[in-house]
Amino acid sequence: MKISICMGTKNEEKAIATVIRSFRNALKGHDSEFVITDSSSDRTAEIASGLGAIVIKQKPQGYGIALREALMNATGEVIITTDCDGTYPPEAVPAMLKLIGEGYDMVSASRLKGKTRVKNMALLNEFGNRFFAFAVSLLYGCRCTDATTGMRVFRKEVISSIEWTENTGLSLELFFKPAVLGFKVIEMPIGYLPRAGGTKLNPWKGGVEMLVTLMRYKLRPIRKRAGYT
Ligand SMILES: Nc1nc2c(ncn2[C@@H]2O[C@H](COP(=O)(O)OP(=O)(O)O)[C@@H](O)[C@H]2O)c(=O)[nH]1
Ligand SMILES: [Mg+2]
């Protein structure tokens, strides 16, 4: 079974080599590919290509536009999303793949499930992440503890059968659209590690964009793409 690991990268030269090597190690025994949309002015792309990743260059336009491009170019039967910052533990991937093997269509890594305070997460981000999980549960009827996580495992059909429109809100959209459309979705608790290098997203601007994403699909139907039932 081929597995694609998809990421957007913007000036992640401090993290890229460790992220690629550690995910490759966690996926030992599987056929895998790294598909990276890169908008860096540092050596991220060069390092990633040197380690065998497929690198697509894109001018910086935001998290979701970059990640979507990587997702659209993935050829694996299973697709993993993650941030290129060292915060998501690759050791969690085998257990997530096991759940896919048991019949789930998407496994979402929850940084918040069962925790009162998340280590290595800024208080403002933690508050925002809890708020968005609550809002998604309330508005879309799919109970979740972390709707803004960057790490998930999908069966390819989930990615290819849905239209993805959001930028910073893509992480939310990747959770609630499959759930609303009836795909079998589950969360798995993970630890959250310290970030290598500085964040590339502004939490206030990102928060507003995510609110718009949440409202957009209360006003517009969520549908599969033409040709999928
Ligand atoms: N290609 C590309 N990647 C981006 C852009 N903005 C953010 N990223 C990447 O998206 C991922 C998530 O961003 P991150 O800074 O970790 O956000 P945080 O988790 O909210 O702190 C990281 O791998 C970033 O390098 C962008 O404009 N273009
Ligand atoms: Mg991150």
Ligand 1 close to Cβ of residue 148 (< 6 A): no
Domain count, the chain: 1
In a domain, 228, yes or no: no
Structure confidence by residue, pLDDT tens digits, 24-69: 999 999 999 999 999 999 999 999 999 999 999 999 999 999 999 9
Give percent of the chain above pLDDT 90. 99
CA dist list (Å): 147 to 102, 126, 128, 225: 22, 12, 10, 22
Query: Average pLDDT of 114-124?
Result: 95
Query: Average pLDDT of 158-177?
Result: 98
Position 229 scores a pLDDT of 81
In a domain, 25, yes or no: yes
Query: 3-state SS of the chain: helix, strand, coil percent to 5?
Result: 40, 15, 40
Residue 228's pLDDT band (cuts 50, 70, 90): very high
Nearest-ligand number for the alpha carbon of 62: 1
Query: Average pLDDT of 63-89?
Result: 98
Distance CA 74, CA 98 (A): 20
Position 127 scores a pLDDT of 96
In a domain, 93, yes or no: yes
In a domain, 224, yes or no: no
Q: What six digits make up the tokens of 38?
A: 């890169």
What's the CATH code of the domain at 161? 3.90.550.10
Nearest-ligand number for the alpha carbon of 81: 1
Query: Average pLDDT of 194-203?
Result: 94
Ligand 1 close to Cβ of residue 7 (< 6 A): yes
Position 112 scores a pLDDT of 97
Place of tokens 């991220």: 44
Distance 35 CA to ligand 1 centre (A): 15
Residue nearest to atom 12 of ligand 1 (CA): 83
Domain, as residue range, for 140: 2-219
Distance CA 27, CA 189 (A): 19
Distance CA 166, CA 24 (A): 28
State which of 41, 47, 151, 200 you would mutate to test the pocket of ligand 1, scoring each by most atoms of that ligand within 8 A of its C-beta: 200
Q: Residue 185: enclosing H or E segment and its boundaries? A: strand 185-189
Ligand 1 close to Cβ of residue 5 (< 6 A): no
Nearest-ligand number for the alpha carbon of 122: 1
Ligand 1 close to Cβ of residue 61 (< 6 A): yes
Distance CA 159, CA 49 (A): 24
Burial level of 120, CB count in 10 A (0-12/13-18/19+)? exposed
- Other C-beta atoms lying within 10 Å of the C-beta of residue 75: 11
pTM of this prediction exceeds 0.85:
yes
Position 192 scores a pLDDT of 97
